[in-house]
Amino acid sequence: MSDFPPPNGQPGPGAAPQQGPLVVNAQYVKDLSFEVPGAPEVFTQLREQPRVDIALDVQARPLQDGGNTFEVALQIRCDAKSGETTAFIAELVYCGIFTVNVAQDVLEPVLLVECPRLLFPFARNILADVTRDGGFMPVLLTPIDFVALWQARRGQPSGAPSGTLLA
């Protein structure tokens, strides 16, 4: 047996795996809704691409008292209109269960910035697929600056529902 450390920083045989500061335990669609309230007429009357308004929210909640496992929810709503006519409404709540091993003073930014940053590409893909499969051009969300979103939420009065860490 060798006294040298294993290459690439990997634990040796029989060593317990090291757990990093952020572990993704699971990802899942918690809620998905797609509506075309004016179908089928909307498809025959639509003359141009609808204007799509996007609303995004991030929430986190602990899964156990005093534990380090959290559910982080990325909530996205797309309202598409052509003039006054609603073309479609898409709502997605995409979640992840994360184990977070960081100091308490950085817990909130990890949960509300880093965790949604990991979830976002998957949520973006789901929305693109569901809008395309619904008969419209896919909604391709631009990258989100979760740091700016978190900082803006921190400036809101206490008790604001969006982007807050639920205790």
What are 84-135's pLDDT values in tens digits?
A: 889 999 999 999 999 999 999 999 999 999 999 999 999 999 999 999 999 9
Which residue range forms the structural domain that includes residue 70?
A: 20-32+51-77+90-153
Give the closest residue to 78 by CA, choosing from 148, 156, 149, 138: 138
Q: Is the pLDDT of residue 35 over 60?
A: yes
Has residue 167 been placed in a domain? Answer: no
Q: What local confidence, expressed as pLDDT, does residue 18 receive? A: 53
Instruction: Kindly give the interhelix angle for 146-154 and 115-133, rounded to the nearest 10 degrees.
Output: 110
Q: What local confidence, expressed as pLDDT, does residue 165 receive? A: 42
The pLDDT mean for the chain works out to 85
Planar angle of CA 70, 73, 77, nearest 5 degrees: 175
Number of domains, the chain: 1
CA gap 146, 120 in Å, rounded: 10
Has residue 63 been placed in a domain? Answer: yes
Beta-strand pair 51-62/85-100: unpaired
Has residue 85 been placed in a domain? Answer: no
Confidence band of 156 (pLDDT split at 50, 70, 90): low
Q: Is the pLDDT of residue 42 over 80?
A: yes
CATH number at residue 142: 3.10.420.10
Has residue 162 been placed in a domain? Answer: no
Looking at the chain, the whole-number percentage of residues with pLDDT higher than 90 is 62
Residue 30 near residue 94, CB atoms below 8 Å = yes
Has residue 108 been placed in a domain? Answer: yes
Has residue 9 been placed in a domain? Answer: no
Beta-strand pair 85-100/22-35: antiparallel
Has residue 101 been placed in a domain? Answer: yes
Structure tokens at 8: 């690439």
Q: Is the pLDDT of residue 52 over 50?
A: yes
